[in-house]
Amino acid sequence: MKQIRNKFFKYVSLNIMSMMGLSFYILADTFFIANGCGSDGLAALNIALPAYGFMFAISNMIGVGFGTRFKIGFDDYELKCSIFSKGVFFALLLSSIFLLTGLFFASDIAYIMGARDTVLDLSTTYLKVILVFTPAFMINSLLISFIRNDNHPSLSMKSVITSSIVNTVFDYIFIFPFDMGMFGAAIATGISPIVGIAILSTHFIFKKNSFKLKKTKIELKEFFYLSSLGISSLINEISSSVVIIVFNLILLKYSSNVGVAAYGVVANIALVVVAIFNGVGNGIQPIISENYAKKDFKSISYIIKLAIITEIIISVILYAYMYINAEFLTNLFNSNKDETLLKMAVEGITIYFLSIPFTGINMITATSMQAMEKPRISFIISILRGIIIIVPLSIYLSSMFMIRGMWGSYTLTEMIVSLMSIVFIMKYGKNKE
């Protein structure tokens, strides 16, 4: 077990850094937009986030789903090449739809998601540019997943960290010295995955790859099967976007654009938290898939237990830090020193993030099940926590307790679903004894 434990901590630590790097794409935008464009810019970004999240969801579904099957069939060279080639084809096909949607319907999308007046113009600008770069985002995400599953997680991590640094630097340059506002922030974010692709291409240039692009037969049925292995990743990302839309509409009902901006602070901190748990999940996925191919269920149970213990320790540290530093974290995005925004965001942080340990359990359970080709269980967990429970609960609790009820609905949802996740884990362990 020592060898598995060492591999666990290596993969998890590298993937946490990678996923945090991806979350910094938007986090850097948020920080510089908040300080360069004020609360309207922050509200506009938060309204645009669901569209970015949906695009990222499709990328994740293909990357995780195709990558999982790639790892399970790792000893079959032709199969690996075929899966990778199909992944590239479908990533380019789907990304072209996002690109065209961004070019022609960005304003309509922003309006549907609640943007009005000045915020509508700012959201439209950001959306249009980001969606034009969708092919780069999707190919970058696909390469990160395949190279991680090709036993080179460190290269995936380096590419993400480097591209995030590039994003941060260009965010500052475009927003402040060049005074390009939302357009500059979107351009900086769009450049980042191109840098990532350039770094990841060294995996092929220096012949470290065990797979390559090959002519292969494209079958829609196989696409649906492979994608189903990444279904929980898809639902997780889409549900995050749905929750943002619902919460924004609730805030516009009971508050104003300042309320949406306050949620923007909470949502962006949540991006980092979710990135950490995604890192744990993405770290254990190749190890679980590898042991699943060997039918080593004892090792799989050990990996899942190790992941949950790690997640709980991280959760306690994260919440303690956020509870103590809620005002400091809020003021990073509160350049106008708006007292209403500060009060709402601090309250949101202290209530919303009580969910952290339960969120981690749910995400780890969903990832573990999809790594073992059990997409149905992953789907159930993801759809319950992402849409079926959270949406009606947030509407009901906000009608009873207004904005506090909305914050609490997220924590209560994660708590309810985590009980089901524990049942799934215990049932799996019992069946394999």
- What is residue 336's predicted lDDT score, i.e. its pLDDT? 78
- What is residue 396's predicted lDDT score, i.e. its pLDDT? 96
- What is residue 41's predicted lDDT score, i.e. its pLDDT? 86
pLDDT at 199 over 90: yes
Phi and psi at residue 171, to the nearest 5°: -55, -50
169-183: pLDDT as tens digits: 999 999 999 999 899
- What is residue 188's predicted lDDT score, i.e. its pLDDT? 93
Half-sphere exposure of 141 (CA within 13 A, CB side): 29
- What is residue 355's predicted lDDT score, i.e. its pLDDT? 95
Cα gap 67→230, rounded to integer Å: 9
Contacts for 252 with CB less than 8 Å, ≥ 6 apart: 114, 259, 260
Average pLDDT over residues 46-57: 83
pLDDT at 375 over 70: yes
Average pLDDT over residues 401-429: 92
Which tokens belong to 209? Answer: 């790859």
**Domain coordinates in residue numbering, the chain:** 2-431
Cα gap 34→28, rounded to integer Å: 10
pLDDT band at residue 294 using 50, 70 and 90 as cut-offs: confident
Q: CB of 199 within 8 A of CB of 155?
A: yes
pLDDT band at residue 197 using 50, 70 and 90 as cut-offs: very high
Q: How far is CA 164 from CA 92, 194, 318, 330, in A?
A: 23, 11, 22, 22
pLDDT at 166 over 80: yes
- What is residue 360's predicted lDDT score, i.e. its pLDDT? 93
pLDDT band at residue 131 using 50, 70 and 90 as cut-offs: very high
pLDDT band at residue 124 using 50, 70 and 90 as cut-offs: very high
- What is residue 432's predicted lDDT score, i.e. its pLDDT? 58
- What is residue 40's predicted lDDT score, i.e. its pLDDT? 86
End-to-end CA distance of the chain: 17
Average pLDDT over residues 89-112: 93
307-324: pLDDT as tens digits: 999 999 999 999 999 999
Q: Average pLDDT over the chain, rounded to whole?
A: 88
Residue 237 amino acid letter: E
- What is residue 241's predicted lDDT score, i.e. its pLDDT? 77
Average pLDDT over residues 222-227: 82
pTM of structure: 0.78
- What is residue 134's predicted lDDT score, i.e. its pLDDT? 95
- Surface-to-core class of residue 137, CB atoms within 10 Å of its CB (0-12 exposed, 13-18 middle, 19+ buried): buried
By percentage, how much of the chain surpasses pLDDT 90? 44
Q: CB of 86 within 8 A of CB of 142?
A: no
- What is residue 37's predicted lDDT score, i.e. its pLDDT? 84
In the block, residue with structure tokens 């994260």: 318
Closest CA to 17 of 204, 191, 148, 177: 148
pLDDT at 80 over 80: yes
pLDDT band at residue 433 using 50, 70 and 90 as cut-offs: low
